[in-house]
Amino acid sequence: MISNILNAYKSPLEKALAHDLQSFGPPSTLRDAIAYALKNGKRFRPAIAYLVAKALGHEENVTDAAVAIEYFHTASLIADDLPCMDNDDERREHPSLHKAFNEATAILASYALIAAGYDKIREGAEKLGRPDIGMLALENASLNTGILGATGGQYHDLYPKTFDEAYILDIIDKKTGTLFEISFVFGWLFGGGDLSLLDTVKQAALSFGRAFQISDDFLDLEQDGNGMNYPAIAGTEQAMHLLKTELNLYYTSLKNLSLETPELLALGKMIESRIE
């Protein structure tokens, strides 16, 4: 079911990404690198924005924001794969960008995607005639992609001060939770959600992000060993307890936001199915 839900939003997003490639200037090696990095994505996070906006009745307003989300996410993956970071030679069963092109081009492609992401926020807000939404989205993206968000999370993952439970949970919130927060918040903002409920939207994203990453860690437990893996550090019993607690908080947040659609509930069920 979840793949069908996500695939429903792939087509409009793929069309928007292809069309927007022109905004990166005339054909060049750098533009080719950006196009390569954007290929074969699951589009999971942008789909969340569509699902939230659909639940509010305005999914057509969210495409620019969804493109911005994909740009931010792809930029983070490019950086994560670099030799000075996680040093991964493959991404999505294809050579990583720095392998397909070179390290300098990969770094510059990530810079270009981040800048383009902010411009898509501006563009989406202008189309709606809602500068207030644009400002809130820019604020959210700046916080979640910056040193207090994904950038800081990656730094602490690379240079951990400790391996205790609270520390790794903070890294989960920064590395994984931040991009999910952008996805939920953008869907809410561009979908016309009540701005006074933004904190509840962020709670839904936080809980979903934690449950999602802990379930990932369970799947990678043997591979990760005693590294940055929540079940390995907190223990499997505590990790399972927290995962279920966060899922319940996610479902409660959906209820409080009147977002209990089959699709958004299915995101939680997807996590449940991974640990059965």
State pLDDT tens for residues 227-248: 789 999 999 999 999 999 999 9
- The CATH number of the structural domain formed by 2-274 is 1.10.600.10
Residue 224 has a pLDDT of: 63
User: Tokens standing for 249?
Assistant: 């908080």
Distance CA 10, CA 4 (A): 10
1 pLDDT higher than 70: no
User: Tokens standing for 127?
Assistant: 């189309």
Mean per-residue pLDDT, 25-40: 96
The most confident of 36-40, 160-164, 271-275, by mean pLDDT: 36-40
Distance CA 172, CA 76 (A): 15
173 pLDDT higher than 90: yes
β-bridge mates for residue 91, sequence order: 94
Indicate the pTM of the whole model: 0.95
Identify the sign of the CA torsion 17, 18, 20, 21.
Answer: positive
Cβ atoms 31, 97 nearer than 8 A: no
